[in-house]
Amino acid sequence: MASKYDGLARIIIQNVGGKDNVKSLAHCVTRLRFKLKDESLANDEILENTDGVIKVMHAGGQYQVVIGPHVTDVYDTVLAIGKFQAGGLVDEDGNTLEEGEGESDGAPKKPVDVLIDLISNILQPVIPVLAASGMTKGLLSLLAFLGVVTSTDGAYQTIYAFADGFFYFLPVFLGITSAKKFGMNQFVGGAMGAALCYPNMVAMKSADAIGSVFGGTFMEMSYSNTFFGLPIVFPSSGYTSSVVPIILAVLCAAKFWNAVDKKIPAALRFFATPMLTLIIFVPLTYLVIGPVAGVLTNLLALFFQSIYEIPVVGGLLCGAVLGGLWQVLVIFGLHWAVIPLILNNISALGYDAVFGGRQVCTHAQVGAVLAVLVKTKDKSIRDIAIPAAITGMFGTTEPAIYGVTLPKKTPFVMSCIASAIGGGFIGLMGAKQFMMGYSGLLGLPVYIDPAGTEGITNMIYYAIGIVIACVISFALTYVTYKEDEPKKVQA
């Protein structure tokens, strides 16, 4: 049966250089992600002037066609017409290189690009569930605050088991995604994460200390037991809910795995390679890799915390900078580098107050899009702006950025200015985020204190920050926006 996206799919295939130019195809929540044999054969101009295509991007060795909320339907149609092998979601398709890939894709990536690629591919598969878990915890906190349930109710505890459990056992899931990215057996990576969450080891961190390393500094780590005389040290936040230690541990283990696996006789390889990897790298993680990861994370967190703690203006400065620059970071994928720091703060302190300013940017985008929607007479822009505003309210801003504000330039700049103002307010008020969650309206509950001490105060600050960013963005965009409509090729 023909799809309503047949015409669009054929235009896309033709203008990425044809079927023979496509090496692989995957998709994320808004984009088709092609790996092409020769990107010079693609025609950006025609694609960007095609109804149904928001924008074309060249990033991370991929030719990305931004579609918006209907990307899955378009992806399925492109697959069917092009008879390409299904790559699925980008995190599943992009974690490992195909044989011979990497040498023919051009110049080596810069270290920063490699780091961001690693973090995004490892974290991206778990972010939806992590956000769902965080928002569920927030909703439970809201229900408890309103007196609908108590924390001892069976219903509360049953739902809380998954909401908190996923976050608690995060190293297990990141061990799996890291192993897939680095080309090692995924369940070995999961087993390494499980070792970091094993109850006896978790209890060891809370036991009476018999010594410490780096005493008197921010890097101080205590220990209550030893491994053949070597101290088993723990970061202040421990390893449950942690991000960086398991990624580094699996990276090191994968190097070993790939070096020795084919050297072990086939009859023994089935169990010998996993056993050797775990016996060597689980202790190494506790003795060396984990503490080093803890120090690195603490250094980055300390840098931002130091800015945040500048008297009077620290919170305002942090919130304004993060609010103003966050969407720029999103465009280049650099926002992934901040997420482990947020998770680290929540794990160590029970909340994050340093990075809260970023949360208003999605609503600033919505304000800018609504202003464009009010002023434009271009039907093609209106067709993009309406769904872009709706998805933006719930935390997905790619359609707004690539379909409306960034192509028009001025609305994007106005939204960043408004985000800086709204983010500055949130930072100034010291609003705390207690759980991980989306930055859309459904993310409001993550600002509710689960302990009940601060109630919904932080959520109110966040809501005010949203209104500030959205209203200012709408006003600035409305005043500065000028119509500049492109002609569209009918699909």
pLDDT tens column, 348-405: 778 888 888 888 888 999 999 999 999 888 777 887 788 878 877 877 676 788 778 8
In this model, does residue 313 exceed pLDDT 60? yes
pLDDT at 114: 66
Residue 97, pLDDT score:
34
Question: Residue 241: pLDDT band by 50, 70, 90 thresholds?
Answer: confident
Strand partners, 26: 33
Higher-pLDDT residue of 285, 118? 285
* Burial of residue 309, with CB atoms counted within 10 A of its CB: 0-12 exposed, 13-18 middle, 19 or more buried: exposed
Top-tier CATH class for 6-103? alpha beta
- pLDDT, one tens digit per residue, over 249-269 is 999 999 999 999 888 888 888
Q: pLDDT band at 104, cuts 50/70/90? A: very low
Domain ranges of the chain: 6-103, 169-305, 314-480
CA–CA separation, 301 and 31 (whole Å): 32
Give pLDDT, residue 194: 97
Q: Say which range, 113-117, 125-129, 427-431, has the weakest mean pLDDT.
A: 113-117
CA separation (Å) from 37 to 42, 106, 212, 332, 426? 10, 11, 54, 23, 46
pLDDT band with cut points at 50, 70 and 90 for residue 303: confident
Instruction: Provide CB contacts within 8 A for 449, sequence distance 6+.
Output: 141, 351, 432, 434, 455, 457, 458
pLDDT bracket for residue 94 (50, 70, 90):
very low
**Torsion angle, CA of 234/290/286/184, rounded to 10 degrees?**
150
Question: What is the structure's pLDDT at 395?
Answer: 72
Q: What pLDDT is recorded for position 108?
A: 54
Mean per-residue pLDDT, 280-296 = 89
Which residue shows structure tokens 């906190």? 141
Rounded distance between C-alpha atoms, residue 104 and residue 400, angstroms: 34
pLDDT at residue 337, rounded to an integer: 66
Q: 223 in helix, strand or coil? A: strand
Task: Specify the pairing of strand 211-213 against strand 86-89.
Answer: unpaired
Q: Residue 99: which pLDDT band, with cuts at 50, 70 and 90?
A: very low
Model pTM score: 0.62
pLDDT for res 61: 75
298-305 average pLDDT score: 73
pLDDT at 479 > cutoff 50? yes
Least confident range of 72-86, 357-371, 392-406, 477-491: 477-491
Residue-level length of the chain? 491
The region of weakest confidence among 144-148, 229-233, 275-279 is 144-148
Give the highest mean pLDDT range of 38-42, 55-59, 289-293, 400-404: 38-42
Percent of the chain, pLDDT > 90? 32
Give residue 472's pLDDT.
97
* Phi, psi torsion values for 448, nearest 5 degrees: -90, 130
User: In the predicted model, what is the mean pLDDT of the chain?
Assistant: 82
Report which of 76, 69, 82 is spatially closest to residue 16, judged by C-alpha positions. Answer: 82
Helices marked H in 94-183? 111-123, 127-145, 154-168, 170-182
- 276 CB-near residues (< 8 Å, 6+ apart): 256, 260
Structure confidence at residue 357 (pLDDT): 82
Mean pLDDT of 70-86: 84
> Pairing state of beta strands 22-27 and 86-89?
parallel
| pLDDT at res. 195 | 96
Q: Which of 411, 431, 435 is nearest to 423 (CA)?
A: 431
**Residue 215, pLDDT above cutoff 80:** no
Beta strands in 2-143 (DSSP E): 22-27, 31-36, 55-59, 62-66, 86-89
> How far from each other are the two terminal CA atoms of the chain, in whole angstroms?
18
3-state helix, strand, coil in the chain (%, to 5): 65, 10, 30
Mean pLDDT of all residues in 84-102? 46
pLDDT value of position 254: 95
Closest to 405 measured CA to CA, from 55, 74, 47, 69: 55
Over residues 177-197, the pLDDT tens digits come to 999 989 999 999 999 999 999
